[in-house]
Structure 1
């Protein structure tokens, strides 16, 4: 396929990723709001906290891999990589400091929102030294900013220098220089229409509608009520903590079995693991710690070190932080790119990259 198809794939992937993220957030909120274990005070507190999140129209979530370079290297070594395929030190250093944040803004409360209701989305990947890549979608407009040099080092192959691009690729030069650029989504769709070389038009993608969400919530609630043990405690940080503990493989297996009948309704990218995928997963008990401030969920921490079954993996966890997302706004000073010029610029960039 040509560069246009590659560009279309990139834009489509961005939209699907952000949409799936928003859907997952809505489902999580709905799951707890339905009263997972109403017989327990801890469960009721967690229900109420998630219900508050679900009633918000804008939410920001930050995922932080809580680990260090030594643990990542030990985890990689336990998988017996082929000689030469070991995790490089610079990649371990990068991953140990990676944070992923996303924001969704909807016209409706998140627990009842569908794809058509989202008016703003943002996604950002950051490392210890700064932001690697950031996307924002507002209506039909897509905004992008990247640290091309850092991405090049992370991916292990060189990207073309802005100085190596042809004069007509001015917009792409700015993109590679770390400046904000913007594209018209509808214009992109028009420019890439008919590139399937006579192939059939793709069928409409399934979406997680409100009815399916309710069925999913009911299935998740049933499994969680059977398998998850809840406790409350006061933390040193002044927040109230609710911990949820469950055997990892048992919980995942039963969750998959419960929601398998609904899998055909899931958006692309939300495919379920198979029984073969899960059979070798450790059944160690895993605990998620939920921090509540005045009844509002602010952070979740999941300790994953035990799942590694490797004594050398000392620190491996996932932190998820929640806060009001506010309004997703367009970045100032973004350079508007003509789609045809951009696609032509990518063609020139790829030819230039072959010379490296």
Structure 2
């Protein structure tokens, strides 16, 4: 009875969330620099390509805030139904980058110096930019710029395309296939996942879902394969042979409900690393009050050519300078 009750409560909570037309959540990578470096070392990187201390520190403290706003309930929304979205990524030192899609434009700002320093690629200075690159100068100064979304999508799609060739259709999922995928997911979870309910803080209820990872994903992809012909072109599903070496350690996910509403999900992934030095590796999603993405005032408009060509030229100059210095 507890298993059925917990599963039903989670199902209901996700159904209610899917009825919303706007959702906002915070995504937190719950880890530390030592665990990330140990995880990187276990992948046997090439000499000189090991994760640096700066990058490990950067990612260990990263948080992302996401908002999605649609004309329809989220569960029924396709790409064309979204009227606004935003993504802000930051750490303990402040915001690193942010973008918003509102109306016909995508708005972007970034702390280029902070990101470049952590990634080991110093940002070009304004003097390295070609004449007339006012928008790129604003980017380097951490100010808002805006780009026509359709023109940007067309410009990036044209990159590397064969002249005269028709653009490939955008991958989409029809409503019937989406529903069948959701049913496959629900069915697999109902059969393979163990649920346990415990009391949480401040009247909240916590449901812990546990399952062996390899068994869960093998069963799930087994349910999805009959739908492969309805999936977007280029989407290849792994075979059972591909998954046989996946770790089969048990993965636990904690779901926090308050008044029947989902407020937080946390997943402990440390066991999947199969590395004793990876002490802390989790993912936390916290639902926050809904927000409405708005267009920032004073954003400088950029052309696609300036965005795609200007930074490329600046980075080539930077590389040439580095080679000459060497």
TM-score with structure 2 setting the length = 0.89
**Number of the residue aligned with 1:226:** 191
Q: Distance in 1 between matches of 2:10 and 2:155?
A: 47
List gaps (5 residues or longer) in structure 1.
1-36
Query: Structure 1 residues 182 and 295, CA, compared in 2 at 3 Å: closer, same or farther?
Result: same
SS for the counterpart of 1:168 is coil
**2:35 is the alignment partner of 1:71:** yes
Aligned to 1:175: 139
Evaluate the alpha carbon distance shift between residue 348 and residue 63 of structure 1 in structure 2; reply closer, same or farther with a 3 A threshold.
Answer: same
Uncovered stretches (5+) of structure 2, i.e. residues with no partner: 322-326
Residue 209 of structure 2 corresponds to residue 244 of structure 1? yes
Within 1, Cα distance between the matches of 2:55 and 2:206? 34
| CA distance, structure 2, for counterparts of residue 121 and residue 256 of structure 1 | 30
Conserved in 2, the CA contact under 8 Å of 1:122 and 1:134?
Answer: yes
Q: Which residue number corresponds to residue 85 of structure 1?
A: 49
**2:290 — aligned with what?**
325
Residues 189, 104 of structure 1: alpha-carbon distance in 2 compared, 3 angstrom cutoff: closer
RMSD (Å), alpha carbons: 2.5
Aligned residues: 320
Alignment of 1:271-282 (within 5 A): 272-282=237-247
In structure 2, the residue matched to 1:145 is: 109
Give, in whole Å, the separation in 2 of the partners of 1:96 and 1:236: 27
Matched, 1:355 2:320: yes
Q: Is 1:299 matched with 2:264?
A: yes
- 8 Å contact from structure 1 (residues 94, 128) kept in 2: no
Partners of 2:223 and 2:177 in 1: how far apart? 13
- Asked if 1:157 is matched to 2:117, the reply is no
Q: CA deviation at 1:290?
A: 0.2
Q: Distance in 2 between matches of 1:232 and 1:75?
A: 32
SS of equivalent residue, structure 2 residue 132: helix
Distance 1:46 1:191, change over 3 A: closer
Do the aligned residues in 2 keep the contact of 1:168 with 1:345 (CA within 8 Å)? no
The offset of 1:278, in angstroms, is 2.1
What is the CA–CA distance in structure 1 between the aligned matches of 2:233 and 2:286, rounded to whole Å? 25
Q: 1:233 to 1:139 in 2, by over 3 A?
A: same
**Deviation at residue 76 of structure 1 after TM alignment:** 2.4
1:99 aligned to which of 55, 63, 88: 63
Deviations 1:265-295 (A, max 9, x none): 4458975444444221111111100011111
C-alpha change, 1:152 and 1:79, in structure 2 (3 Å) is same
TM-aligned CA deviation for residue 74 of structure 1: 2.2
1:146 and 1:175 in contact (8 A); partners too: yes
Distance, in Å, in 1 between the alignment partners of 2:188 and 2:316 is 53
Superposed displacement of residue 199, structure 1: 4.5
**8 Å CA contact retained: 2:269, 2:281:** yes
Shift of 1:189: 5.6
Q: In structure 2, what is the Cα distance between the partners aligned to 1:154 and 1:46?
A: 39
**Larger deviation: 181-190 or 60-69?**
181-190
Partner of 1:128: 92
Deviation at 1:116, TM superposition (A): 1.4
Q: 1:73 Cα deviation (Å)?
A: 2.1
Q: Report if the CA contact (8 A) 1:49-1:297 is conserved.
A: yes
- Do 2:67 and 2:292's aligned partners in 1 also have CA atoms closer than 8 Å? no
In structure 2, do the counterparts of structure 1 residues 190 and 214 end up closer, same or farther at CA, with 3 Å as the change threshold? closer
Shift of 1:191: 6.3
| Aligned CA distance change for structure 1 residues 247 and 174 (closer, same or farther; 3 Å) | same
Query: How has the CA–CA distance of structure 1 residues 188 and 50 changed in structure 2, closer, same or farther, with 3 Å as cutoff?
Result: closer
Quickly say closer, same or farther: Cα 1:197–1:48, change in 2 above 3 A.
closer
Of 213, 217, 220, the match for 2:182? 217
Provide the C-alpha distance between the structure 2 equivalents of 1:153 and 1:341, rounded to a whole number of angstroms. Answer: 23
Q: TM-score, normalized by length of structure 1?
A: 0.82
